Amino acid sequence: MTRLLVGADPAGAVRLAAAEVARRAHGAIAARGRFVVALSGGATPRALHALLASPGGPFAGGLDWSRFHVLFGDERCVPPDHPDSNYRMARVTLLDRVPIPAGQVHRLRGEDPDPVRAAASYAGELRALFAGGPPRLDLVLLGTGADGHVASLFPGSSALDEGARWVTAPWVERLRARRLTFTFPLLRAASAVLLLATGRDKAGPAAALLGGPGPLPVQRIRPASGDLTVVLDAAAARGVRATAPVEAGPGGRIVV
């Protein structure tokens, strides 16, 4: 199932996304005793993290952080204290502010001089977390770039056609660097994916995603047997046709 949630502005979209994270967390913990979530990099998740972690916010005291297992959908090949590190961003905005046990934060080793080895090691960590079975994450958080990339799956990347490995380390020609990233087999196996996008530069990728399958990476993220929730602000939703059920929630209004 695909759902579209639209906030009037970026703050409204973030509130909708945070409520969805909380809903998924409560459901997973009630059903299985834990919540396995993959965080996204980039700028947009900063506000989401801040809202979830705010001691005076709507989710204060309402989430059992001790049951969270945190993964990362992609990472730059940099040390964990580097300004470009997705882990560092998540640590500063979320992980240092909530009581998630350190052993339940599973970071990609971007500092490993061999990114291929780092990707294989993370796949092993996933295998252990899911007791050797196929990883089925409770929720994967994603954003998208103006070019339609998700995680570190960029247009034209060899990683787009990966059919077996869960984590890989493709060379990104336009960045002249390798990235560590989840692959589509892992993304599609998730119980749920939540894509959060705000701003006019995300209108094209959002419209492409909700328009159906296509060549852009963002058009290929639908879980095989799970849910996809797309959360946009009004600017990002401006080119979207009402091709999916649209819901409004706290802080949001329907603009499609």
pLDDT in tens, 60-101: 889 999 999 999 999 999 999 999 999 999 999 999 999 999
Residue 181 to residues 7, 77, 230: CA-CA distances in angstroms? 29, 11, 20
From CA 119, how far away is CA 217, in angstroms rounded? Answer: 20
* Better-predicted residue by pLDDT, 147 or 246: 147
Residue 208 φ then ψ, to 5° = -65, -45
User: SS3 of 177, please?
Assistant: strand
Asked whether residue 205 is assigned to any structural domain, the reply reads yes
User: What's the pLDDT at 241?
Assistant: 64
- On whether the pTM is more than 0.75, the answer is yes
Counting the structural domains of the chain, the total is: 1
From CA 188, how far away is CA 164, in angstroms rounded? Answer: 12
In the predicted structure, residue 248 carries a pLDDT above the cut 50: no
> Which of the four pLDDT bands, split at 50, 70 and 90, describes residue 181?
very high
From CA 7, how far away is CA 105, in angstroms rounded? Answer: 30
Asked whether residue 204 is assigned to any structural domain, the reply reads yes
Strand pairing partners for 246? 4
| Percentage of the chain lying above the pLDDT 70 cut | 94
Asked whether residue 252 is assigned to any structural domain, the reply reads no
Residue 68 lies in domain: 2-229+241-247
Nearest in space to 100 (alpha carbons), one of 108, 90, 109: 90
In the predicted structure, residue 110 carries a pLDDT above the cut 90: yes
pLDDT in tens, 195-238: 999 999 999 999 999 998 899 999 999 898 889 999 999 999 99
In the predicted structure, residue 107 carries a pLDDT above the cut 90: yes
Asked whether residue 255 is assigned to any structural domain, the reply reads no
Strand pairing partners for 196? 231
pLDDT in tens, 41-66: 988 899 999 999 999 889 988 999 99
Asked whether residue 124 is assigned to any structural domain, the reply reads yes
From CA 154, how far away is CA 31, in angstroms rounded? Answer: 35
From CA 15, how far away is CA 7, in angstroms rounded? Answer: 8
Asked whether residue 177 is assigned to any structural domain, the reply reads yes
Asked whether residue 234 is assigned to any structural domain, the reply reads no
Residue 172 to residues 19, 158, 159, 164, 168: CA-CA distances in angstroms? 34, 9, 10, 20, 12
Asked whether residue 235 is assigned to any structural domain, the reply reads no
Residues 185, 163 contacting (CB under 8 angstroms): yes
Residue 117 φ then ψ, to 5° = -65, -40
* Token digits of residue 21: 């994270």
User: What's the pLDDT at 245?
Assistant: 47
Strand-strand pairing, 177-182 and 74-76: antiparallel
Assign residue 29 the CATH number of its domain. 3.40.50.1360
| Type and span of the H or E element at 247 | strand 246-247
What letter does residue 252 receive in the DSSP assignment? B
Residue 89 to residues 16, 32, 72, 121: CA-CA distances in angstroms? 21, 28, 11, 22
Average pLDDT of the chain to the nearest whole number: 92
* Better-predicted residue by pLDDT, 165 or 222: 165
In the predicted structure, residue 251 carries a pLDDT above the cut 90: no
